[in-house]
Amino acid sequence: MTVYLDIIWALNFMFDSLLLYLTAIILKREIRLWRIFAGGLIGSIIILLVFTPFNEYSGHPLTKLLFSVAMVLAVFGFKRLRYFLKGLMTFYFATFLVGGSLIGIHYFINFDFQLSSSVMLASVKGFGDPISWLFVLLGFPLAWHFSKRNVEGIEMTKIQYDSLVMVRVVINETEFRFKGLIDSGNQLYDPISKMPVMFISVKDRLDEFPPEIIKMAGNPEDIIMGSDSIGGDWEHKMRVIPCKVVGQEHQLIIGFKPDRIILEKENEIIEAERGLVSFSMQQLSADDAFQCIVHPKMLTGTSTMKQDAKVS
């Protein structure tokens, strides 16, 4: 049987290098390419051991673990034990993620080939099944890209989750609750009072709000121009605020001064000392992850711990 050792070695070298590169992306570590290729080269040596007197040891789990340790050390080095173990575990995570994606794709499209001849299981039998090799050659980059995109998506979800707070707005002794996103890009202030402005969407919750708020959210231009009114009890708390949005240089919005703005963040309760809210019919989050955009300045108010607040 003819064994195309150079092709098998080259594929494993490429795959190991890509897995190490994916590991560096997940860990957000800037690594030089030559170190990644060095790690891939070390990992590909295990294929060559199949054709040496150490053949019986090449497939042993301890041997694979030692090669994995050498690969991670070659790429990331050793600064401290925790740093190294994090790199090693992330490398295995990336390997299982891409490998699992390949196996999932295989069963989904149901290619008819024997897994015993698949290079994924390191069973070297000549050139191998042409279908399996073609599948791995095409499927591995797709699985790698899919894994990378999903890791980035998970990271963005975590970042967004860490920026979410529970918002309680008290208006005329009535409390409304929202999920809020802390947006550092929101730098809108009332130019006169210098109060920060929070945006609140009332879409899909119209039955919870009084008609005055619904009117402010639905027809702000009519109220600003004086063609419509919301009553004196509400108008004395109203502010007209100029702002800039994408596509429009100048725009006027209505800001309303609530009685209280309370933010709950992890184990902390923050009461904003000053602030305005602007109601809108526009949905702020496509997946309804949040209903208001919180001005970061509001987080500088009086802060108490949740346990302390309960005791008081």
> Average pLDDT of the chain?
76
Model pLDDT, residue 34: 92
- Could you say which DSSP state residue 117 is in? G
Answer yes or no: 183 catalytic. yes
- Tell me if residue 261 falls in helix, strand or coil: strand
According to the model, what pLDDT value does residue 311 have?
Answer: 39
Q: What is the pLDDT of residue 121?
A: 43
Long-range (24+ apart) CB contacts under 8 A made by 252-258 are 252/220, 252/221, 252/224, 253/197, 253/220, 253/278, 254/216, 254/220, 254/223, 254/224, 254/278, 254/279, 255/190, 255/195, 255/197, 256/171, 256/213, 256/216, 257/195, 258/169, 258/170, 258/171
| Tokens 């039998």 belong to residue | 125
Confidence check: pLDDT of 252 > 50: yes
- Predicted pLDDT of residue 11: 78
% pLDDT > 90, the chain:
4
Three-state SS at 36: helix
**pLDDT tens digits for range 4-19:** 667 777 878 888 888 8
* pLDDT given for residue 312 in this prediction: 40
Q: pLDDT for 44-55, tens place per residue?
A: 888 788 777 777
Q: Is the pLDDT of residue 114 over 80?
A: no
pLDDT value for 14: 84
Active-site option among 183, 190, 233, 259: 183
- Helix, strand, coil abundance in the chain, percent, nearest 5: 50, 20, 30
Region 201-229: mean pLDDT is 82
Our measurement of the distance from residue 152's CA atom to the centroid of its chain's CA atoms, rounded to an integer in Å, reads 6
Residue with tokens 């694979």: 64
For a pLDDT cut of 70, what percent of the chain falls above it?
72
Cα 174–Cα 176–Cα 182 angle in degrees, nearest 5:
140
Average pLDDT for 100-126: 53
| Per-residue pLDDT reduced to its tens digit, 147-169 | 666 666 655 555 455 678 889 99
Q: Answer yes or no: pTM beyond 0.85.
A: no
Query: Residue 38's pLDDT band (boundaries 50, 70, 90)?
Result: very high
Question: What does the pLDDT average to over 94-115?
Answer: 65
Mean pLDDT (whole number) for 232-242 = 79
Nearest Cα residue to 17 out of 4, 5, 31, 27: 31
Predicted pLDDT of residue 127: 40
pLDDT at site 124 = 38
Q: Which residue has the higher pLDDT, 25 or 248?
A: 25
> How sure is the predictor about 70, in pLDDT bands with cuts at 50, 70 and 90?
very high
Among 10-19, 24-33, 115-124, 271-280, name the one with the lowest average pLDDT.
115-124
Residue 134 has pLDDT above 50, yes or no: yes
- Where do we find the tokens 């290098």? 17
| pLDDT, mean of residues 294-305 | 77
Residue of 44, 60, 54, 62 whose CA lies nearest to 6: 44
CA distance 215 to 227: 12
